[in-house]
Chain A
């Protein structure tokens, strides 16, 4: 009873959140899965639209259009994550030792994060226009021509090739590299100078200090940045909607396909199925990460 009196209040304080998260996250996920198992036929022609049960998932997962969307998501995620990690780390490295006007540099590099994806999409849509050549080029292609670098022109995400979606990662990298920079910067600054000084006294080069002292300590930061940025890619909808419009085959990913399933196609069951698969993909990456941090914290304690 004394035990209960000790931790009881804590549980009580957290209980509203537990209930809210329980309902809004787990309850609704459950409801969504339930919806995804529904069966529906066209009331006029009796055509089976959604077969019901696990067959809905079979139907979705065997659809070539869905494969195309998944492939796009993969390309987008890989490029986006690699890009933000690269630039975030680069900028953090450039800034972490302290430079004049550091505040200015830092603020500007962090600025894109303040802009919403929808707002950014409005201007990036123009920037990433696929027309090339002096007659037609606008946006970045036009800029490259003006700067005398016509070879840099590209059809960007409208390119019919399989890796076109990589171009869609460019605005996303632009927006979120600053966040990764902030994480790494905070990470660097959290490591006391003494370690570096001690290493320098021992005669270590700057590069070896980074490699053997600093980077290993930053690996938790890197990992959490990786997971956060990676899962943002899966959810990405606003940016693509804003740049490619609401019905673009070339730039389709599961999230935009879901919008089409729900609204123009009025197929909530397929949309629910799509959403559940998306959740599963995210879970496959996130759950191991959460278990890992849970265990390592248990270990620390």
Chain B
């Protein structure tokens, strides 16, 4: 059986649509305004980041409310070092959690998305809608019985194990949505029909036809789930302890201590955010590209 190359124009993310009448050399008032607004937006958005970075590299004794907005008078790496020491164990746990949960829920999402878009069964739409509702529920509505239900797992599941289960399961709806939308627009039904004619069963079709072209869907799903698991606090608060929980919990403990060291705390915020920051910086373009290929409508 042959796999037809999907013939889709790859949307160019940085194209220009310049209305006619504007030469390349001319700078229009509109362009100036546009750049001004963009720069202003960026500056405003970076204000909290500025505070975080600048405070985290200050020498602890020089930190006071009077000089909070000033650049450091005395530099020190102590904040970063001590924050890293405090947070390293939980960062490792968060990494395991985010990677495993993202991988598992993406996989389940891909399978579900495939079935809901291309291999439907009677009642599939209703079931899918019921899945989607699960995406929107406030998790407070299940937290109390969830806590009780997860109480009696074997000890190996404590902390991150419970969170992996929880994030995988509650990630199923959004991942299924992402893949269903993606497959609906990116995979022509004719391909499926052709594979069926060739004698391929569902699993074969999925593995040979669908998976190879699923990358954009996976990108969106993995990024979304990784971030969601990494940044979660609610589940961590209810289901884990600071000693076996993810970095969000450890950070909250760090920030809430009795004698706060702001250099350390703000460095901690930056450290805890680094993996997801990197993911968005490096993969951001793919994220938008994935969104554009119809992953989320």
Contacts and interface: CB of A to CB of B under 8 A. Distances in A.
Interface of A: 7-11, 13-14, 16-18, 20-21, 24-26, 28-29, 31-32, 35, 87, 90-91, 94-95, 97-99, 102-103, 105-120, 122-124, 126-127, 138-139, 142-143, 146, 174, 182-183, 185-186, 189-190, 193, 196, 200, 206, 220-221, 224, 227, 231, 234-235, 237-238, 241-242, 255, 258, 262, 268, 271-272, 274-276, 278-279, 282-283, 286-287, 290-291, 294, 297-298
10 contacts: A11-B121, A28-B145, A35-B144, A94-B37, A108-B45, A114-B227, A182-B291, A183-B291, A220-B297, A279-B138
Q: Do most interface residues of chain B lie in helix, strand or loop, or is the interface mixed?
A: helix
A20 B201 CA distance: 25
Which 5 pairs across A and B sit closest by C-beta, in order of nearness?
Answer: A116-B231, A7-B121, A31-B145, A98-B16, A186-B291
Contacts of B296: 183, 186, 224
Contacts of B47: 127, 143
Contacts of A95: 38
B222 to A, nearest CB: 14
A25 B68 CA distance: 46
A238 B140 contact: no
A120 to B, nearest CB: 7
B248 to A, nearest CB: 5
Contacts of B151: none
A278 B142 CA distance: 11
Nearest to A185: B288
Contact of A17 (B65, B176, B277): B176
Contacts of B145: 28, 31-32, 35
B47 to A, nearest CB: 8
A231 B46 contact: no
A29 B141 contact: yes
Nearest to A193: B17
Contacts of B122: 7
Categorize the interface residue count of chain B: 35 or more
Contacts of A16: 108
Interface string B103-122: 00000100110111001111
B45 A111 contact: yes
Contact of A124 (B48, B120, B202, B288): B48
B273 A116 contact: yes
A298 B15 CA distance: 34
Contact of B125 (A31, A108, A294): A294
Nearest to B111: A13
Given A10-B115, A114-B279, A97 B18 contact: yes
B15 A98 contact: yes
B74 interface: no
A279 B255 contact: no
Contacts of B273: 114-116, 119
Given A29-B141, A109-B45, A189-B292, A123 B227 contact: no
A92 B131 CA distance: 30
B281 A107 contact: yes
Given A28-B142, A31-B145, A122 B49 contact: no
A6 to B, nearest CB: 8
B29 interface: no
B203 interface: yes
Given A107-B284, A118-B248, A278-B140, 9 more contacts: A10-B124, A13-B114, A13-B115, A21-B131, A24-B170, A109-B45, A235-B139, A242-B252, A286-B136
Nearest to B138: A235
Nearest to B122: A7
B233 A234 contact: no
A224 B112 CA distance: 21
Nearest to B16: A98
B37 A17 contact: no
B133 interface: yes
A123 B52 contact: yes
B186 interface: no
Contacts of B133: 25, 283, 286-287, 290
B83 to A, nearest CB: 12
A294 B133 CA distance: 12
Nearest to A124: B48
Q: Which has the most chain B C-beta neighbours within 10 Å: A26, A220, A238, A268?
A: A238
